[in-house]
């Protein structure tokens, strides 16, 4: 029996060793599997954090742009209102001059003084507009230029030299700081 017991013990030990190896082997595989599944989870968490960070940056940038757009629209409206205010401030003294001239004209008997008064007001007005950047266009006798002139009609030129030139100005053209704000309406010779 001793031999038999001994064989059984050896078989049990062998089975235990084999089972232990299997357990260790299985545990090692689980460890490897566990490590292998941890890497994608960590990568996913990392990518989700990156997405959240980029989304936050996007939202902040969008908010900043929206605020910028609103601020510039408000500034543009304020600028337009202020620009109009400057024009009216410029014209108020002229309005005062016209009111004084009208009042004086009621009692004036000499037409020469009335003409002189209106001429002074006109000169003051033109000088003020020139200071603000308004420039009248000199079109009479110049070559017709579609960028500056608007042809109302064509008439026969008095001589060959005047063909394609402005023969008469119906309405003066003006530019403001170099930009045409009203084209000169002209009659062109052909």
Domain boundaries in the chain?
40-132, 135-190
Instruction: Enter the pTM of the model.
Output: 0.55
Helix (H, G, I), strand (E, B) or coil at 97: helix
Contact 187, 154 (CB under 8 A): yes
Q: Does domain 40-132 have CATH number 3.90.20.20?
A: yes
CATH class of the region 135-190: mainly beta
**C-alpha angle with apex 93: 90 to 95, nearest 5 degrees?**
105
Backbone φ, ψ for residue 124 (5° rounding): -60, -40
CB burial of residue 187 (10 Å; 0-12, 13-18, 19+): middle
Rounding to the nearest 10 degrees, give the CA dihedral for residues 184, 187, 188, 190: 170
Give the residue from 174, 98, 172 showing the smallest Cα distance to 132.
174
Place of tokens 């064989």: 7
Whole-angstrom distance, CA of residue 65 vs CA of residue 59: 10
Residue 175, H or E segment: strand 174-176
* Interval 12-67: pLDDT, tens: 555 445 444 444 444 444 445 555 567 888 999 999 999 999 999 999 999 999 99
pLDDT class of 88 with cuts at 50, 70, 90: confident
Q: Which residue has the higher pLDDT, 3 or 101?
A: 101
């Amino acid at each position: 029996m001793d031999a038999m017991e001994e064989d059984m013990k050896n078989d049990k030990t062998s089975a235990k060793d084999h089972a232990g190896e299997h357990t260790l082997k299985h545990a090692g595989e689980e460890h490897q599997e566990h490590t292998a599944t941890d890497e994608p989870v960590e990568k996913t968490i990392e990518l989700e954090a990156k997405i959240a960070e980029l989304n936050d940056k996007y939202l902040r940038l969008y908010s900043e742009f929206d605020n910028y757009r609103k601020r510039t629209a408000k500034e543009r409206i304020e600028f337009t209102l202020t620009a109009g205010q400057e024009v009216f401030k410029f014209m108020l003294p002229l309005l005062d001059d016209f009111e004084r001239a009208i009042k004086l004209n009621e009692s004036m008997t000499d037409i020469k003084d009335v003409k002189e008064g209106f001429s002074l007001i006109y000169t003051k007005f033109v000088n003020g507009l020139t200071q603000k950047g308004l420039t009248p266009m000199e079109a009479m006798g110049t070559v017709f230029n579609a960028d500056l002139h608007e042809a109302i009609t064509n008439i026969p030129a008095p001589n060959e030299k005047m063909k394609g030139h402005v023969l008469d100005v119906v309405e003066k053209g003006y530019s403001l700081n170099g930009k045409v704000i009203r084209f000169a309406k002209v009659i062109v010779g052909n």
